[in-house]
Structure 1
């Protein structure tokens, strides 16, 4: 099951911070700028359309329109704690989202196309984040360079064992949540990407 931050396998029933995507909300999310807007709100907190436009290099008209669309589908909402002036502040409703595998086999080509767009955009973001790290790692203390990892592995599995591996990695990452307070000296937000997929052997 592909997920976006916070990489939690639970859906809304077990974890209200994670939105379980259905076909309707999937179609509402399937736009590159909407995905980038939602990621920015989740990572950096509440913002205005103009603030997000500056961060993402877009026009405020475009960010404003797509924020309203995200609100229609329940991804973002007004932030009442900040929306006291003329500018409208937005915040993410959920910390992350979970996608079921059924969308890639949906009889509706629009749903399959939306799923493909979202997955490719997530992969693009992962690549951009990794490229940013590689281009700026010389600016970080040596300890962070030593602690970073850029590895890939090949192992023969069944679909069931691949699912088990993914579940265990998710559980391991989640076991580190909350262990380091935000104001801890020398700490940083660490991004961990997980890609598990089969490859042909010939």
Structure 2
């Protein structure tokens, strides 16, 4: 390990075949705002064509088609042959989620291109989280009162060591995942719930 390179903790999803373990090579294929939006759309709304995604995202079909092919080259999306008819090509997400593999650290990676790609991905994720939250706040009046009472926007101030921060993050992930598959898709009154986790240190002066 190079000097001052922090040890990367094992991912809690390392053995989950539904999660895409991103390495330094595939990270370069993901680090583009439109590609991340395309991948998110396929994961959230299901298979689609390049033209359908273009309409949803307000982009040209030429741009969505090109970036879908790039995502496919790096293993993020794949053809959905069950839906394609004739020349119509349908795409689907190859995995349900993405995690950084053990070879990818954040600001300490030796390759400046990899550090830049990580920055693009993280800033795009943060932008998406903010957009989703703002969309909820602007439309929450359209939801039943039960859902309005169930929503939560909280922040907490804790004094922790890096080790305890990792422990807390892992426990939150485990808790959220324990609620998966508890409610059938067609359950009356149910909905898809978005949960964001942000954890970072703050200066004290």
- Considering the TM-score relative to the shorter chain, is it more than 0.5? yes
Given the alignment of the two structures, is residue 131 of structure 1 paired with residue 115 of structure 2, yes or no? no
Given the alignment of the two structures, is residue 150 of structure 1 paired with residue 133 of structure 2, yes or no? no
Contact 1:82/1:89, CA 8 A, preserved across alignment: yes
Q: 1:179-194 alignment to 2 at 5 Å?
A: 179-194=182-197
Q: 1:1-202 alignment to 2 at 5 Å?
A: 9-11=12-14, 14-100=15-101, 102-202=105-205
Q: What is the deviation of 1:9?
A: 3.0
Contact 1:20/1:99, CA 8 A, preserved across alignment: yes
Q: What is the deviation of 1:36?
A: 0.3
* Number of equivalenced pairs: 194
> What root-mean-square deviation, in Å, do the aligned CA atoms of Structure 1 and Structure 2 show?
1.2
1:35 is paired with a residue whose SS is helix
Partner of 1:4: none
Distance 1:9 1:31 in 2: 26
Q: What is the deviation of 1:181?
A: 0.3
TM-score, normalised on structure 1? Answer: 0.93
Contact 1:105/1:112, CA 8 A, preserved across alignment: yes
Deviation above 2 Å: which 4+ runs of structure 1? none
Deviations 1:19-55 (A, max 9, x none): 1110010011000000000000001110000000000
